[in-house]
Amino acid sequence: MGSEENVTTAFLATAEVVATLVGHPTVGRTWDRPSVLPHMTVGDLAAHLARAVNNVDTYLAEPAGSSGTSGPQGGADAAAGGEGVDGPGYFLAFDDLGPDVDSGLNRAVRERARAEASPGWRAVRETLGRSRENLARRLAEMEPTDPIRVLGSMDMELADYLRTRLIEMAVHLDDLAVSVGVDTPALPPGVSQLVIADLVEMARRRHGDLAVLRSLTRRERDPVEALRVL
């Protein structure tokens, strides 16, 4: 699953896993209860997870080169400039990305998730279902190297952007499953390898190879927690 040609297949298969978990009856029953993420309900988290799929549909529906701003605002200005970036570069463009729950980016993510969860479980499921139907058709007509503009000013190849969505889905599938007390669903074959490779590359670019090596093998020499990139 490592080749660019297979990233689309991986994305669509993972989106199906997302739809299954978001549609789990326990998610609906616990919609307004706290999730494992600070200041987010189960519904907020489910809506945020669904957004990893919905955003792709939104961007592909926009005319090429348009300035849609449906992505993770709050840190988007850091990504301005229109220069092409890859998957790890997408995340590293946000200066306040990280575990600080009070950062501007994280507050904006929570506010948007709350708004998208507010119509309720059924509405979130229906929106996600429409996005999956649209994407099955749209992605079949595209090449992995086709350009896509995200956040209004960030140019990426389609495959690179889909890899960022795989990271979002993999991380938040686990968050949502743990939040509602069900087993974390298995990812499609090869997806974990793609996600881990991009996360480690983010750590390498942010902290350098020595810091990553120490984080993997000598945690007593890892004051920056180099492998924590999200």
- Other Cβ atoms within 10 Å of 179 Cβ, number: 22
> 154 in helix, strand or coil?
strand
Q: Which amino acid belongs to residue 122?
A: R
* The model's pTM: 0.90
Cα of first residue to Cα of last residue in the chain, in angstroms, is 23
What angle separates helix 4-22 from helix 42-61, to the nearest 10 degrees? 140
Q: Which amino acid belongs to residue 87?
A: G
Q: What domains appear along the chain, each with residue ranges and CATH number? A: 4-184 (1.20.120.450)
| Residue 83: predicted pLDDT | 59
- pLDDT, one tens digit per residue, over 74-90 is 333 334 444 579 999 99
- pLDDT, one tens digit per residue, over 166-200 is 999 999 999 999 999 999 999 999 999 999 999 99
> 61 in helix, strand or coil?
helix
Residue 34 has phi, psi (to 5 degrees) of -65, 145
- pLDDT, one tens digit per residue, over 36-63 is 999 999 999 999 999 999 999 999 997 6
Q: Which amino acid belongs to residue 47?
A: A
